[in-house]
Amino acid sequence: MDKIQLEKRVAELNELLHEYGHAYYVLDKPVVSDAIYDQLLNELITIEQENPDLIYPDSPTQRVGGDILQGFKKVTHDYPMLSLSNAFNEADLNDFDRRARAIIGDNFNYICELKIDGLAISLRYENGVFVVGSTRGDGQIGEDITENLKTVRSIPLRLKEPISIEARGECYMPKRSFTNLNKARAEKGEELFANPRNAAAGSLRQLDPKIAASRNLSTFIYAIGGSGEAYNLDSHSEALDYMDKLGFHTNHERRACKDIKEVMAYIEEWTEKRPELPYEIDGIVIKVNRYDQQEELGYTAKSPRWSIAYKFPAEEVVTKVLDVDLTVGRTGVVTPTAILEPVLVAGTTVGRATLHNEDIIREKDIRIGDQVIIRKAGDIIPEVVSVLFDQRSEDSVPYEMPTHCPACDSELIRLEGEVALRCVNPQCFAQISEGMAHFVSRNAMNIDGCGEKVVEQLLKSDLVKDISDLYKLKVEDLVQLERMGEKSANNLVTAIENSKENSMERLLFGLGIRHVGAKAARVLSEEFGSMQNLMKATTNELVNVNDIGEKMSESLLSYFENEEVQALIQRLSDAGVNMDFKGKKVNVADIESVFSGKTVVLTGKLEQLTRQDAKEKIEQLGGTVTGSVSKKTDLVIAGEEAGSKLAKAEQLGIEVWDENRLLQELTV
């Protein structure tokens, strides 16, 4: 064959193998025998080996796994991959339903889907070709696992339409694949995976894609990244049908429900049928179906208000309490934990369970040596449900909480209105260690390479006494630590130096002030602008800030009145740590722009901005971005393939801009 004929044959083979693979792995309806498929694949492999320039990124031969990776790169999600709020019973679902109806009325329906117990993934396609696959990570930034995901045969390397799109879904390991994998590992004397979810996650995080290729993973796609409206879709159910049309593997057990009663019937049905499935599920996902109603309901900082995950009741098992372990947190709270005879619960081996506090231990009368019933709260956190009193030994004695701190031996106190015992010694090693680990964590100062073990070594070696000492560390100090080479030491010093440039809200959250979480730290930083201003704030100034209540205000005032705290913040400032808010605080009343006081709707696909970027920029200039077009809408920004919202805007005579006009106004 000449070059032109070879190119034509490669195109034919690619097309046939994609079609046959889709029929086999997605539709579960093979159209040719394995022998014919293998024959065509081998022909393609032979041509590609002799003509490397004819190996295309979406070639079926690329599923076998390429070279070993050096590490995983970071991927920033265009739209956050949020987690869902949980419901554990019918009352939780009724509350969710009432909240939705209070905002969008009664004219809506739900769509229910099986909650696959796997690993959340994002798949990006450009002109129909798979280019980047990543994990959820922290919701904002994930890991690039493209080469591993290419080996998953239910993921199309080329879509049936040449469009650019992001698909989100769950990568999982079927029950049969899990059984076979653990059987093979047992024969080799290797450690077994605890459950299919862990096995799937472990497979996707292998640096050798050939290992992932051997694990027989699969996927279900459950959403379009951003909004399906960019593709002229009005609802989640339409989006799932469209994903089917593009060649993705979606779960067809989904069902539209007109009200919460039908949702409960769906849940009851799948609670019974769950064991029959060839894959693991841990609940049901319920979503308001229409996109305009989803946008009207909006989001909290962590999850959408238009969706909730019902979690199946936790599995309960019996085991023995061997001991009680006590840990001291960064705020001095002493938390008791039951040390258990290891037992399998909901697919994982459990050896510890939270006892919460002294009152719970007394209320349930939990004692060392007791046989107890345990379960995973929400299938995640093990807890003791109750004691089997009829199996208690005669010489059993009640458990007594200590009177002194297990870490520093200072006397423990119980503050008025609290159930927890607390160590109030500011020099307590455990508190300093926990506090420093929090300070360097990802959501606080984000000092990479400074985990709990490194923090503990720094404190025990007297290299640091508090968080301000981190900024005095040098490479020659760090190389003395166990398992800390020169390269790691250099990286850590660089990470510490980079953290000085963080905006104020990260520092404020990192200080670990009681009741002040990441969201509150952002609100306070935006309101007061600098640490100095916040430290001088009065009670009235604090309680008048949105989302800041009396309890948080009291905590802030008490914290900043402490002279040791004031000295600490001064040391951090002297070390060069930024004390100012670096974001943009918007006072809408003072803004004069074309967006001032206007209600704006974004629709269609934007090419040069993400939808979130456009929303933030418009709001920074005094506009309000909403999700649906009405008579109150002042302006519609229409990207490519804009659908029903554009049509409604034209019908109502509302001003419409394209993306170029938007960009011009944003840069004026």
pLDDT per residue as tens digits for the range 164-180: 999 999 999 999 998 88
pLDDT in tens, 280-320: 998 999 999 999 999 899 887 678 999 999 988 777 889 99
Q: How far is CA 415 from CA 174, 177, 335, 427, 432, in A?
A: 50, 53, 15, 19, 20
Place of tokens 């029929």: 23
Across residues 268-288, what is the average pLDDT? Answer: 92
As a whole number of angstroms, the distance between CA 190 and CA 193 comes to: 9
User: Higher confidence at residue 295 or residue 348?
Assistant: 295
As a whole number of angstroms, the distance between CA 436 and CA 454 comes to: 10
As a whole number of angstroms, the distance between CA 295 and CA 291 comes to: 6
Across residues 400-420, what is the average pLDDT? Answer: 86
What is the amino acid identity at position 300? T
pLDDT at 610 over 90: no
- Give 413's strand partners: 422
Place of tokens 């948080």: 552
Number of helical H runs and strand E runs in the chain: 24, 22
- Give 371's strand partners: 320
Instruction: Give the SS3 label for residue 125.
Output: strand
Torsion of CA 526, 529, 530, 532, to 10 degrees: -110
As a whole number of angstroms, the distance between CA 155 and CA 136 comes to: 17
Check if the beta carbon of residue 68 is closer than 8 Å to that of residue 208: yes
DSSP secondary structure, 13-49, as one string: HHHHHHHHHHHHHTSS---S-HHHHHHHHHHHHHHHH
Share of the chain above pLDDT 90, in %: 44
CA–chain centroid gap for 161, Å, is 30
Instruction: Give the SS3 label for residue 169.
Output: strand
Sheet-wide strand order for 635-638: 624-626, 599-603, 635-638, 655-657
Check if the beta carbon of residue 297 is closer than 8 Å to that of residue 305: yes
Token digits for 590?
């003072």
CA–chain centroid gap for 433, Å, is 26
As a whole number of angstroms, the distance between CA 92 and CA 87 comes to: 5
Token digits for 514?
């009681």
Query: What integer pLDDT is reported at residue 230 of this predicted model?
Result: 80
pLDDT in tens, 455-508: 999 999 999 999 999 999 999 999 988 888 899 999 999 999 999 999 999 999
Check if the beta carbon of residue 168 is closer than 8 Å to that of residue 81: yes
As a whole number of angstroms, the distance between CA 401 and CA 420 comes to: 11
Q: How far is CA 486 from CA 472, 479, 480, 665, in A?
A: 17, 6, 10, 50
Residues 6+ apart with CB under 8 A from 164: 125, 126, 127, 128
* Of the candidate ranges 89-98, 180-189, 229-238, 383-392, the one whose mean pLDDT is the lowest: 180-189
pLDDT in tens, 87-96: 888 999 999 9
pLDDT at 110 over 90: yes
- Compute the half-sphere exposure of residue 588: CA atoms within 13 Å on the CB side of its CA: 11
The residues assigned a catalytic role are: 115
Full set of structural domains in the chain with CATH: 3-63 (1.10.287.610), 85-311 (3.30.470.30), 318-414 (2.40.50.140), 429-500 (1.10.150.20), 504-575 (1.10.150.20), 599-666 (3.40.50.10190)
Check if the beta carbon of residue 263 is closer than 8 Å to that of residue 92: no
Among 58, 49, 52, which residue's Cα sits nearest to residue 15?
58
Residues making up the binding site for Zn(2+): 405, 408, 423, 428
Query: What integer pLDDT is reported at residue 605 of this predicted model?
Result: 78
The gap between the terminal CA atoms of the chain, to the nearest Å, is 59
Among 398, 384, 392, which residue's Cα sits nearest to residue 318?
384
pLDDT in tens, 350-383: 899 988 888 889 999 999 999 999 987 554 568 8
Other Cβ atoms less than 10 A from the Cβ of 234: the count is 16
Residues making up the binding site: 34-38, 83-84, 113, 136, 170, 287, 311, 405, 408, 423, 428
| Residue 405: Cβ-neighbour burial (10 angstroms; 0-12, 13-18, 19+) | buried
Among 330, 399, 326, which residue's Cα sits nearest to residue 362?
399
Check if the beta carbon of residue 421 is closer than 8 Å to that of residue 401: yes
User: Long-range contacts of range 528-537, CB-CB < 8 Å, 24 or more positions apart?
Assistant: 528/581, 529/504, 529/580, 529/581, 529/585, 530/504, 530/579, 530/580, 530/581, 531/504, 531/507, 531/569, 531/573, 531/579, 531/580, 532/579, 534/508, 534/560, 535/560, 535/566, 535/569
Instruction: Give the SS3 label for residue 170.
Output: strand
pLDDT at 12 over 90: no
Q: How far is CA 250 from CA 242, 304, 357, 570, in A?
A: 10, 21, 44, 55
pLDDT at 589 over 50: no
As a whole number of angstroms, the distance between CA 137 and CA 551 comes to: 32
The 8-class DSSP code of residue 161 comes to: S
Share of the chain above pLDDT 70, in %: 93
pTM of the predicted protein model: 0.54
Residues making up the binding site for NAD(+): 34-38, 83-84, 113, 136, 170, 287, 311
- What is the average pLDDT score of the chain? 86
Query: What integer pLDDT is reported at residue 36 of this predicted model?
Result: 77
Query: What integer pLDDT is reported at residue 490 of this predicted model?
Result: 93
What is the amino acid identity at position 151? T
DSSP secondary structure, 515-565, as one string: T--HHHHHHHHHHH-BHHHHHT--HHHHHTSTT--HHHHHHHHHHHH-HHH
68 — pLDDT class (breaks 50, 70, 90): very low
pLDDT in tens, 534-583: 999 999 999 888 768 888 899 899 889 988 899 999 999 999 999 999 87
Token digits for 583?
């974001």
pLDDT at 447 over 60: yes
Check if the beta carbon of residue 389 is closer than 8 Å to that of residue 318: no
Kindly tell me the sign of the dihedral angle through the C-alpha atoms of 236, 237, 239, 240: positive
Across residues 424-445, what is the average pLDDT? Answer: 87
Sheet-wide strand order for 255-257: 85-87, 307-311, 281-288, 110-116, 255-257
